[in-house]
């Protein structure tokens, strides 16, 4: 039962990892930008939610209405004003720019908020759970996280497949210069894609903060690692693959946690390395675009 419990918790933890991985996957799949600051964007999302909670007194769900679109707009302009210029200089330049952002953000957060954890209270949501069987309880928050992750992936998939903007994004991923010949300004398409990636990162960051009960300036470093691992395990270019990758990583971590509380990170990283060596294309065959 202990193993079964760990399996179930691991699968649900995978929902959070998948949410973290989705934005990264979009940025890489459409813009070919490896966003090293992805974890920091998630952290900023969690901080904004914490600030909204403490200053406006709204609950965490209401804060999402502000935080998610706000970071979406930030993503749009970061792409237009910063990353687009970097992209024109070559492949390495955007990587360095996001690396710089990843360094600036935690230090700015320390200046503004100190290194103390900023609380993201969720009432009793974080502790509420439902009993499935003797010794097997699942938390309501992890369940909700998984549900939101699945809906997000399905929604993104549908958006890319069926809408005009989604088609432009897929076309831009293939050949942005040719997209211009069709009459589309590819820079705007890129900016919208980055806005989408930032908005989803913010959402993932808030869910992470809820799970942890709060957020600290350096949380982004682990988040971006988990996000990368989920993307690679699942297979670059497949959105559902990020869910599979997140689940594999989550299960590996929680199973290792049963053995010893020291092990989850190490085992998670070993599973990631094993996939990278044995099956570098990931466990899900990429058939869809991004």
Partner 1 sequence: MSRTAGAGEALLEVDSVAKSYGALDVLTAVHLSVPAGQALGIVGPNGAGKSTLLSVINGTERASAGTVRFAGRDVTAVGADARARAGMGRTFQIPRPFTHLTVFENALAGATAGAGLHGRAADDRALEALVLADMLDVANTPAGELPLLGRKRLELARALATDPQLLLLDEIAGGLTEAECDSLIATIRELHAQGITIIWIEHVVRALLAVVERLVCLASGVIVADGEPDAVMRSDEVQAVYLGGGL
Question: Residues in the site for partner 1, rule: CB under 8 A?
Answer: 164, 167-168, 170-171, 173-175, 177-186, 288-289
Question: Distance of CA 16 to CAs 22, 56, 71, 150, Å?
Answer: 10, 26, 19, 10
Minimum CB distance to partner 1, residue 170 (Å): 6
Minimum CB distance to partner 1, residue 172 (Å): 9
Minimum CB distance to partner 1, residue 157 (Å): 13
Minimum CB distance to partner 1, residue 139 (Å): 38
- The nearer residue to partner 1, 279 or 287, going by C-beta atoms, is 287
- The nearer residue to partner 1, 19 or 184, going by C-beta atoms, is 184
Residue of 49, 72, 158 whose CA lies nearest to 167: 158
Cβ–Cβ under 8 Å, residues 272 and 249: yes
**Burial class of residue 260, CB neighbours in 10 A (0-12, 13-18, 19+):** exposed
Minimum CB distance to partner 1, residue 26 (Å): 15
Transcribe 136-158 into DSSP letters: EEEEHHHHHHHHHHHHHHHHHHH
- The nearer residue to partner 1, 188 or 211, going by C-beta atoms, is 188
- The nearer residue to partner 1, 271 or 289, going by C-beta atoms, is 289
SS3 215: strand
Query: Any alpha helices (H) in the chain, and if so which ranges?
Result: 2-31, 38-51, 60-78, 84-87, 92-113, 140-162, 164-174, 176-181, 186-212, 219-234, 239-259, 264-278
- The nearer residue to partner 1, 89 or 112, going by C-beta atoms, is 89
- The nearer residue to partner 1, 60 or 290, going by C-beta atoms, is 290
């Amino acid at each position: 039962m202990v193993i079964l419990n760990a399996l179930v918790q691991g699968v649900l933890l995978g929902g959070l990892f998948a949410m973290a991985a989705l934005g990264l996957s979009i940025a890489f799949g459409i813009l070919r930008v490896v966003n090293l600051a992805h974890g920091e964007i998630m952290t900023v999302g969690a901080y904004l939610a914490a600030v909204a909670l403490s200053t406006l007194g709204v609950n965490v769900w209401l804060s999402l209405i502000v935080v998610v679109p706000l970071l979406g707009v930030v993503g749009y302009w970061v792409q237009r004003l910063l990353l687009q210029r970097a992209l024109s200089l070559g492949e390495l330049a955007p990587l360095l720019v996001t690396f710089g952002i990843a360094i600036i953000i935690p230090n700015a957060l320390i200046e503004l908020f100190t290194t103390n954890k900023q609380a993201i209270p969720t009432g009793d949501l974080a502790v509420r759970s439902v009993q499935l069987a003797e010794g097997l309880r699942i938390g309501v928050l992890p369940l909700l996280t998984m549900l939101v992750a699945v809906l997000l992936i399905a929604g993104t998939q549908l958006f890319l497949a069926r809408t005009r903007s989604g088609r432009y994004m897929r076309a831009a991923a293939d050949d942005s210069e040719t997209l211009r010949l069709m009459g589309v300004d590819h820079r705007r398409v890129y900016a919208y894609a980055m806005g989408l990636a930032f908005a989803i990162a913010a959402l993932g960051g808030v869910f992470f903060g809820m799970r942890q009960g709060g957020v600290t300036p350096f949380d982004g470093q682990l988040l971006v690692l988990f996000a990368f691992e989920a993307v690679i395990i699942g297979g670059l270019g497949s959105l559902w693959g990020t869910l599979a990758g997140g689940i594999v990583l989550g299960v590996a971590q929680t199973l290792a946690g049963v053995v010893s509380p020291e092990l989850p990170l190490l085992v998670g990283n070993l599973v990631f390395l094993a996939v990278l060596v044995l099956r570098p294309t990931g466990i899900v065959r990429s058939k869809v675009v991004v």
